[in-house]
Protein backbone atom coordinates (compact mmCIF):
# COMPACT_ATOMS: atom_id res chain seq x y z
CA UNK A 1 0.00 0.00 0.00
CA UNK A 2 1.35 3.42 -0.99
CA UNK A 3 2.28 5.74 1.84
CA UNK A 4 0.22 8.87 2.31
CA UNK A 5 1.75 12.35 2.32
CA UNK A 6 1.16 12.50 6.06
CA UNK A 7 3.01 9.23 6.63
CA UNK A 8 5.93 10.44 4.53
CA UNK A 9 6.02 13.70 6.49
CA UNK A 10 6.19 11.72 9.73
CA UNK A 11 9.10 9.70 8.40
CA UNK A 12 10.87 12.87 7.29
CA UNK A 13 10.46 14.29 10.79
CA UNK A 14 11.96 11.12 12.24
CA UNK A 15 14.92 11.47 9.87
CA UNK A 16 15.41 15.05 11.09
CA UNK A 17 15.38 13.84 14.70
CA UNK A 18 17.93 11.16 13.84
CA UNK A 19 20.21 13.76 12.21
CA UNK A 20 19.98 15.90 15.34
CA UNK A 21 20.93 12.91 17.49
CA UNK A 22 23.86 12.10 15.20
CA UNK A 23 25.27 15.61 15.60
CA UNK A 24 24.87 15.54 19.39
CA UNK A 25 26.60 12.14 19.51
CA UNK A 26 29.56 13.29 17.47
CA UNK A 27 30.04 16.47 19.49
CA UNK A 28 29.92 14.48 22.74
CA UNK A 29 32.37 11.88 21.40
CA UNK A 30 34.79 14.35 19.87
CA UNK A 31 35.49 11.82 17.13
CA UNK A 32 33.63 9.89 14.47
CA UNK A 33 32.20 10.25 10.99
CA UNK A 34 29.79 13.02 10.01
CA UNK A 35 29.07 13.09 6.28
CA UNK A 36 27.99 9.49 5.74
CA UNK A 37 25.67 9.20 8.76
CA UNK A 38 23.87 12.43 7.88
CA UNK A 39 23.50 11.32 4.28
CA UNK A 40 22.06 7.92 5.26
CA UNK A 41 19.53 9.16 7.84
CA UNK A 42 16.61 8.91 5.39
CA UNK A 43 17.44 5.32 4.45
CA UNK A 44 17.84 4.18 8.05
CA UNK A 45 14.56 5.89 8.90
CA UNK A 46 12.84 4.02 6.08
CA UNK A 47 14.25 0.72 7.33
CA UNK A 48 13.58 1.01 11.05
CA UNK A 49 10.22 2.75 10.81
CA UNK A 50 8.63 1.15 7.75
CA UNK A 51 10.51 -1.58 5.87
CA UNK A 52 11.99 -4.02 8.38
CA UNK A 53 10.15 -6.80 10.13
CA UNK A 54 11.73 -6.37 13.57
CA UNK A 55 10.90 -6.11 17.26
CA UNK A 56 12.99 -3.82 19.50
CA UNK A 57 11.60 -5.61 22.56
CA UNK A 58 12.77 -8.97 21.16
CA UNK A 59 15.89 -8.36 19.03
CA UNK A 60 16.44 -12.10 18.48
CA UNK A 61 12.93 -12.66 17.10
CA UNK A 62 13.28 -15.51 14.61
CA UNK A 63 10.97 -13.92 12.03
CA UNK A 64 12.95 -10.68 11.87
CA UNK A 65 14.57 -9.36 8.72
CA UNK A 66 18.36 -9.15 8.90
CA UNK A 67 20.04 -5.78 8.43
CA UNK A 68 23.81 -5.97 7.92
CA UNK A 69 25.91 -2.80 8.01
CA UNK A 70 29.08 -3.28 5.99
CA UNK A 71 30.53 0.23 6.23
CA UNK A 72 30.64 0.20 10.01
CA UNK A 73 32.14 3.68 10.27
CA UNK A 74 28.66 5.18 9.73
CA UNK A 75 27.59 3.55 13.00
CA UNK A 76 26.22 6.82 14.48
CA UNK A 77 23.24 6.73 12.09
CA UNK A 78 22.47 3.12 12.93
CA UNK A 79 22.71 3.75 16.66
CA UNK A 80 20.53 6.86 16.41
CA UNK A 81 17.89 5.05 14.35
CA UNK A 82 17.88 2.06 16.72
CA UNK A 83 17.55 4.31 19.75
CA UNK A 84 14.63 6.24 18.28
CA UNK A 85 13.04 2.90 17.31
CA UNK A 86 13.19 1.74 20.94
CA UNK A 87 16.18 -0.62 21.16
CA UNK A 88 17.78 1.45 23.92
CA UNK A 89 17.34 4.93 25.45
CA UNK A 90 18.14 7.84 23.15
CA UNK A 91 20.23 9.35 25.95
CA UNK A 92 22.66 6.43 25.64
CA UNK A 93 23.65 7.76 22.22
CA UNK A 94 25.80 10.35 24.00
CA UNK A 95 28.11 7.54 25.15
CA UNK A 96 29.32 7.00 21.56
CA UNK A 97 32.99 5.91 21.58
CA UNK A 98 33.31 6.32 25.34
CA UNK A 99 35.32 3.75 27.30
CA UNK A 100 33.14 0.72 28.06
CA UNK A 101 30.16 1.90 26.00
CA UNK A 102 27.94 -0.44 24.01
CA UNK A 103 28.17 2.09 21.18
CA UNK A 104 31.63 1.48 19.83
CA UNK A 105 33.06 3.42 16.91
CA UNK A 106 32.25 0.40 14.77
CA UNK A 107 29.32 -1.86 15.74
CA UNK A 108 30.10 -4.93 17.86
CA UNK A 109 27.46 -7.65 17.71
CA UNK A 110 28.16 -9.05 21.17
CA UNK A 111 27.83 -5.67 22.87
CA UNK A 112 24.51 -4.40 21.54
CA UNK A 113 21.32 -6.42 20.98
CA UNK A 114 19.86 -5.89 17.54
CA UNK A 115 23.11 -6.11 15.57
CA UNK A 116 23.54 -9.02 13.17
CA UNK A 117 27.29 -8.68 12.63
CA UNK A 118 30.39 -6.90 13.86
CA UNK A 119 31.50 -4.55 11.12
CA UNK A 120 34.42 -2.33 10.38
CA UNK A 121 36.85 -3.77 7.81
CA UNK A 122 35.35 -2.62 4.53
CA UNK A 123 34.26 -5.14 1.93
CA UNK A 124 33.06 -7.87 4.29
CA UNK A 125 29.38 -6.99 4.64
CA UNK A 126 28.15 -8.37 1.34
CA UNK A 127 29.86 -11.71 2.03
CA UNK A 128 28.29 -11.86 5.49
CA UNK A 129 24.84 -10.99 4.15
CA UNK A 130 25.16 -13.53 1.33
CA UNK A 131 25.99 -16.24 3.85
CA UNK A 132 22.99 -15.31 6.00
CA UNK A 133 20.66 -15.23 2.98
CA UNK A 134 21.96 -18.59 1.74
CA UNK A 135 21.48 -20.18 5.16
CA UNK A 136 17.94 -18.81 5.48
CA UNK A 137 17.09 -20.26 2.09
CA UNK A 138 18.53 -23.64 3.10
CA UNK A 139 16.30 -23.57 6.18
CA UNK A 140 13.26 -22.70 4.08
CA UNK A 141 12.74 -19.39 5.87
CA UNK A 142 11.12 -16.30 4.33
CA UNK A 143 13.12 -13.63 6.19
CA UNK A 144 14.68 -10.97 4.01
CA UNK A 145 18.29 -9.84 4.27
CA UNK A 146 19.44 -6.27 3.65
CA UNK A 147 23.03 -5.12 3.51
CA UNK A 148 24.17 -1.51 3.47
CA UNK A 149 27.46 -0.81 1.69
CA UNK A 150 29.55 2.24 0.87
CA UNK A 151 30.59 3.07 -2.66
CA UNK A 152 34.23 3.33 -1.58
CA UNK A 153 34.28 -0.31 -0.49
CA UNK A 154 33.51 -1.33 -4.05
CA UNK A 155 37.28 -0.98 -4.41
CA UNK A 156 37.63 -4.14 -2.28
CA UNK A 157 38.05 -7.44 -4.10
CA UNK A 158 36.07 -9.29 -1.44
CA UNK A 159 32.98 -7.33 -2.45
CA UNK A 160 33.13 -8.68 -5.98
CA UNK A 161 33.67 -12.27 -4.84
CA UNK A 162 30.48 -11.92 -2.81
CA UNK A 163 28.67 -10.33 -5.74
CA UNK A 164 29.58 -13.35 -7.89
CA UNK A 165 28.44 -15.81 -5.21
CA UNK A 166 25.15 -14.00 -4.64
CA UNK A 167 24.39 -13.78 -8.35
CA UNK A 168 25.28 -17.41 -8.96
CA UNK A 169 22.97 -18.66 -6.22
CA UNK A 170 20.18 -16.29 -7.26
CA UNK A 171 19.64 -15.04 -3.72
CA UNK A 172 16.48 -13.06 -4.32
CA UNK A 173 15.98 -12.81 -0.55
CA UNK A 174 18.94 -10.41 -0.41
CA UNK A 175 18.82 -6.70 -1.23
CA UNK A 176 22.00 -4.65 -1.15
CA UNK A 177 21.88 -0.88 -0.75
CA UNK A 178 24.92 1.06 -1.87
CA UNK A 179 25.42 4.54 -0.44
CA UNK A 180 26.55 6.26 -3.63
CA UNK A 181 27.68 9.53 -2.09
CA UNK A 182 30.83 9.76 -4.23
CA UNK A 183 33.23 10.51 -1.36
CA UNK A 184 35.81 8.60 0.65
CA UNK A 185 38.41 9.64 3.16
CA UNK A 186 41.00 10.77 0.59
CA UNK A 187 38.70 12.49 -1.88
CA UNK A 188 36.05 11.80 -4.49
CA UNK A 189 35.67 8.15 -5.43
CA UNK A 190 36.06 8.79 -9.14
CA UNK A 191 39.41 10.48 -8.47
CA UNK A 192 40.72 7.89 -6.02
CA UNK A 193 39.58 4.82 -7.97
CA UNK A 194 36.91 5.21 -10.66
CA UNK A 195 33.96 2.91 -10.00
CA UNK A 196 31.61 3.49 -12.91
CA UNK A 197 29.79 1.87 -14.59
CA UNK A 198 28.62 0.31 -11.31
CA UNK A 199 25.14 -0.67 -12.45
CA UNK A 200 26.45 -2.48 -15.52
CA UNK A 201 29.03 -4.36 -13.44
CA UNK A 202 26.42 -5.74 -11.07
CA UNK A 203 24.03 -6.58 -13.91
CA UNK A 204 26.85 -8.59 -15.49
CA UNK A 205 27.00 -10.59 -12.25
CA UNK A 206 23.28 -11.47 -12.56
CA UNK A 207 21.88 -8.79 -10.26
CA UNK A 208 18.74 -6.72 -10.67
CA UNK A 209 19.87 -3.10 -10.31
CA UNK A 210 17.86 -0.01 -9.39
CA UNK A 211 19.03 3.57 -8.99
CA UNK A 212 17.21 5.97 -6.70
CA UNK A 213 17.52 9.23 -4.81
CA UNK A 214 18.52 7.90 -1.40
CA UNK A 215 17.38 11.08 0.33
CA UNK A 216 13.83 10.66 -0.98
CA UNK A 217 12.17 8.34 1.53
CA UNK A 218 9.15 7.61 -0.67
CA UNK A 219 11.30 6.77 -3.71
CA UNK A 220 13.55 4.53 -1.63
CA UNK A 221 10.63 2.57 -0.18
CA UNK A 222 9.22 2.06 -3.68
CA UNK A 223 12.60 0.67 -4.79
CA UNK A 224 12.68 -1.77 -1.87
CA UNK A 225 9.14 -2.89 -2.72
CA UNK A 226 10.29 -3.61 -6.28
CA UNK A 227 13.24 -5.62 -4.95
CA UNK A 228 10.80 -7.82 -3.01
CA UNK A 229 9.01 -8.62 -6.26
CA UNK A 230 12.14 -9.77 -8.12
CA UNK A 231 12.36 -13.54 -8.53
CA UNK A 232 15.61 -15.50 -8.86
CA UNK A 233 17.96 -12.50 -8.65
CA UNK A 234 19.44 -10.46 -5.84
CA UNK A 235 18.81 -6.72 -6.08
CA UNK A 236 21.22 -3.84 -5.73
CA UNK A 237 19.76 -0.42 -4.99
CA UNK A 238 22.27 2.28 -5.86
CA UNK A 239 21.13 5.04 -3.53
CA UNK A 240 22.45 8.43 -4.58
CA UNK A 241 22.81 10.41 -1.37
CA UNK A 242 24.21 13.78 -0.37
CA UNK A 243 27.04 13.39 2.15
CA UNK A 244 26.39 15.76 5.03
CA UNK A 245 22.72 16.01 4.06
CA UNK A 246 20.88 18.66 6.07
CA UNK A 247 23.93 20.83 6.72
CA UNK A 248 24.47 22.78 3.48
CA UNK A 249 27.91 24.09 4.39
CA UNK A 250 29.41 20.58 4.56
CA UNK A 251 27.40 18.79 1.87
CA UNK A 252 29.61 17.03 -0.72
CA UNK A 253 32.77 17.97 1.22
CA UNK A 254 34.86 14.80 1.49
CA UNK A 255 36.85 16.34 4.35
CA UNK A 256 33.82 15.67 6.57
CA UNK A 257 33.93 11.95 5.83
CA UNK A 258 35.74 11.20 9.09
CA UNK A 259 35.66 14.48 11.01
CA UNK A 260 33.28 15.38 13.88
CA UNK A 261 31.96 18.89 14.49
CA UNK A 262 33.22 21.00 17.34
CA UNK A 263 30.73 22.15 19.97
CA UNK A 264 30.26 25.48 18.18
CA UNK A 265 29.91 23.79 14.78
CA UNK A 266 27.51 21.26 16.25
CA UNK A 267 25.20 23.98 17.55
CA UNK A 268 25.25 25.70 14.17
CA UNK A 269 24.70 22.46 12.28
CA UNK A 270 21.73 21.60 14.50
CA UNK A 271 20.07 24.90 13.58
CA UNK A 272 20.66 24.16 9.90
CA UNK A 273 19.20 20.65 10.16
CA UNK A 274 16.07 22.00 11.85
CA UNK A 275 15.68 24.73 9.25
CA UNK A 276 16.20 22.37 6.31
CA UNK A 277 13.85 19.80 7.87
CA UNK A 278 11.13 22.40 8.17
CA UNK A 279 11.52 23.35 4.53
CA UNK A 280 11.22 19.69 3.46
CA UNK A 281 7.96 19.36 5.40
CA UNK A 282 6.62 22.69 4.14
CA UNK A 283 6.80 24.46 7.48
CA UNK A 284 8.78 27.38 6.09
CA UNK A 285 8.18 29.69 3.15
Report pLDDT digits (tens) over 209-235: 999 999 999 999 999 999 999 999 999
Q: What does the pLDDT read at residue 276?
A: 76
What are the DSSP calls for 218-256, one per residue? HHHHHHHHHHHT--SS-EEEEEE--TTTT-GGGTT-GGG
Q: What does the pLDDT read at residue 210?
A: 98
The full set of domain ranges for the chain reads: 5-280
Q: What does the pLDDT read at residue 120?
A: 76
What is the CATH topology of the domain spanning 5-280?
Answer: Rossmann fold (3.40.50)
What is the pTM for the complete model shown?
A: 0.94
Q: What does the pLDDT read at residue 186?
A: 87
Contact call for residues 43 and 12 (beta carbons, < 8 A) = no
Distance of CA 148 to the CA centre of its chain: 5
> Could you say which residues of the chain have pLDDT below 50?
284-285
Q: What does the pLDDT read at residue 249?
A: 92
What are the DSSP calls for 188-210, one per residue? EHHHHS---SHHHHHHHTT-EEE
Q: What does the pLDDT read at residue 121?
A: 80
Amino acid sequence: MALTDSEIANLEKRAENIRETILKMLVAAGSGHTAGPLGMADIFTAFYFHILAHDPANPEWQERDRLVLSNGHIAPVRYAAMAHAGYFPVEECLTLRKFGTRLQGHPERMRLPGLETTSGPLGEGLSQAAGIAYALRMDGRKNRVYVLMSDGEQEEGNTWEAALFTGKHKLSNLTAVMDRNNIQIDGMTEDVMPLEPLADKYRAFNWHVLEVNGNDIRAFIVAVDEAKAIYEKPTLIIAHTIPGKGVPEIEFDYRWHGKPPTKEEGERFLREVRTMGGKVRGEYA
